[in-house]
Amino acid sequence: AKEDAPKLQIYEDLIDSDELVSFDIACKALDIGLKRLYSFLRDKKVISNKKGEKLNIPYQSYIDRGYFEVKPKPWRNIHGDEGVTLKTYITGAGMIWLEKYLNKNY
């Protein structure tokens, strides 16, 4: 239908986009709280529930599908300690998948 055209264009633009979205921004777009989203995705075995550095990191099969990218992020605290942590981003295709997955399963 004609009224669906703008929405379809947004989805097509997202799929082709190289833009990565943080979980914070995704939560605003999907109208769900961050803790709720993490909890839901852990329950559904989309992201890891292992404590420590692997917490909330997507399982490889979801990365392979192109839904998420995990990038190293350097950090430094007030004591001068430095390290690298892993930060997960959602791809355009991942945003589309996530919206559909939430609508179907949440």
Query: pLDDT (tens digit, 9 = 90+) per residue, 56-94?
Result: 999 999 999 999 999 999 999 999 999 998 999 999 999
Instruction: Provide the β-strand partners of residue 88.
Output: 70
Within 10 Å of residue 46's Cβ, how many Cβ atoms?
20
Task: Write down the pLDDT at residue 23.
Answer: 94
Q: What is the mean pLDDT of residues 37-63?
A: 94
> Which pTM was predicted?
0.80
User: Which token pair is 88?
Assistant: 């997960």
CA nearest neighbour of 34 among 88, 100, 91: 88
Q: What is the mean pLDDT of residues 1-23?
A: 68
Within 10 Å of residue 9's Cβ, how many Cβ atoms?
10
Instruction: Provide the β-strand partners of residue 58.
Output: 47
15 pLDDT higher than 60:
yes
